[in-house]
Amino acid sequence: MNSYAIRADAQYSARFFKPADGLDGGVRCELCPHRCLLRGGEAGFCKARTGESGGALPFYGFVSSVAVDPIEKKPLFHYRPGEKIFSLGFVGCNMQCPFCQNWRISQTTDSAVQAFVPEEIVSKATELGLKQIAYTYSEPLIHIEYLAECMTLARERGMANVLVTNGCINDKAAAEIIPLVDAVNVDLKCFSEVNYRKILGGSLSAVKHFIKAASECVHVEVTTLIIPDFNDGAAEADECAGFIASVSNSIPWHISAYYPAYKWDVPPTKAETILEIKKRAGQKLLYCYTGNINDGNPTYCINCGALLIRRGCSYKTEILELVKKNEDGVYYCGRCGTRTAIRY
């Protein structure tokens, strides 16, 4: 594990650590379902949190990627469509998906990083004229202390916070971070607890809890990468769609084609598979979109069928029949006046 010098002006309080009974000087991290037992400088499963001095964050403030992205790239299709978003990535992850497309930052802590205190992040976004910040790319929630500081500051400056996460976090931590977030995209990677645990190193039940809890307070979208011979069966896709619909049938579901990455080398998902899953999910969900195939992904008014948003290549987004009617943060159909599920 790389070790970096935390900046002198970066002060943090490590949280979610507790002394571990019967383990002299050891601590338990209670942030996520792994509940790692850590002795001394040992790092947890995520590589980003250690047991040093009762619990330490050796990567506090270290950012592996900084970019300005279209918000559609997160993907978020129903939150501030067409906007650009300041996007930050970190190092480490509390899951180990063998098909991870960002494994160079999620599965190692040796990637190049830059140190930023939260004030610098928010100031940079402000200088660029951006009104939202995304915490994304690897798994942001293992850096929850840093996120909470950035998010609080961003809110104070009138910015929105977008979280892109695997959702694999314990309820107490979820309850603390969700109120600071405005919109979230959660990965629902499959619908098998066994596969979550044995192949991905995560917990399906924690992710389901997170999606439910987030949907009670903030804008939620869900993404599933469809992987041949892993989760591309109709029954499993139906279960994913059924679960999302049980939370709310207006949650957009992004059904994305996989391409080989990291340790997974089966051929890419066929477009027909994605389109078939989308068609079946459309019986349960109002908004299903595809990723990594050329499918257009328009959004129509569910009442009159007006084309609300047209999407093209390279995240090109054209807002057509959408109007802001009240100060309620919701768009309405410009043709028939129906309230849409799209927020600004």
Binding site for ligand SF4 (CB under 6 A): 29, 31-32, 34-36, 44-46, 49, 93-97, 100, 102, 106, 138-139, 142, 166
Taking the complex as a whole, the smallest distance from the CB of residue 170 to ligand SF4 amounts, in Å, to 8
Order across the sheet with 339-343: list the strands.
322-324, 330-333, 339-343
Taking the complex as a whole, the smallest distance from the CB of residue 37 to ligand SF4 amounts, in Å, to 9
Taking the complex as a whole, the smallest distance from the CB of residue 189 to ligand SF4 amounts, in Å, to 7
* Side-chain half-sphere exposure of 125, counting CA atoms within 13 A: 28
Q: Identify which of residues 151 and 301 has a Cβ nearer to ligand SF4 in the complex.
A: 151
Of the candidates 306, 337, 303, the one whose C-alpha atom is nearest the C-alpha of residue 319 is 306
Q: Identify which of residues 49 and 131 has a Cβ nearer to ligand SF4 in the complex.
A: 49
> What CA–CA distance (Å, rounded) separates 82 from 141?
26
Residue 196 phi/psi, 5° resolution? -55, -45
Q: Identify which of residues 106 and 215 has a Cβ nearer to ligand SF4 in the complex.
A: 106
Length of the chain, in residues: 344
Q: Identify which of residues 111 and 340 has a Cβ nearer to ligand SF4 in the complex.
A: 111
Tokens of 54: 């009762």
Taking the complex as a whole, the smallest distance from the CB of residue 28 to ligand SF4 amounts, in Å, to 8
Residue 132 phi/psi, 5° resolution? -150, 150
The three-state secondary structure class of 22 is coil
Segment (H or E) for 153: helix 144-156
Cβ atoms of 26 and 20 within 8 Å: the answer is: yes
Taking the complex as a whole, the smallest distance from the CB of residue 1 to ligand SF4 amounts, in Å, to 13
Q: Identify which of residues 95 and 341 has a Cβ nearer to ligand SF4 in the complex.
A: 95
Taking the complex as a whole, the smallest distance from the CB of residue 330 to ligand SF4 amounts, in Å, to 30
The three-state secondary structure class of 179 is helix
Q: Identify which of residues 207 and 342 has a Cβ nearer to ligand SF4 in the complex.
A: 207
Other CB atoms within 10 Å distance of the CB of residue 13: 8
Taking the complex as a whole, the smallest distance from the CB of residue 48 to ligand SF4 amounts, in Å, to 6
Q: Identify which of residues 60 and 332 has a Cβ nearer to ligand SF4 in the complex.
A: 60
Residue whose beta carbon is closest to ligand SF4: 44
> What CA–CA distance (Å, rounded) separates 303 from 300?
9
Other CB atoms within 10 Å distance of the CB of residue 1: 14
Taking the complex as a whole, the smallest distance from the CB of residue 111 to ligand SF4 amounts, in Å, to 13
* Strand ranges inside 128-177, DSSP E: 132-136, 160-165
Q: Identify which of residues 201 and 252 has a Cβ nearer to ligand SF4 in the complex.
A: 201
> What CA–CA distance (Å, rounded) separates 91 from 106?
5
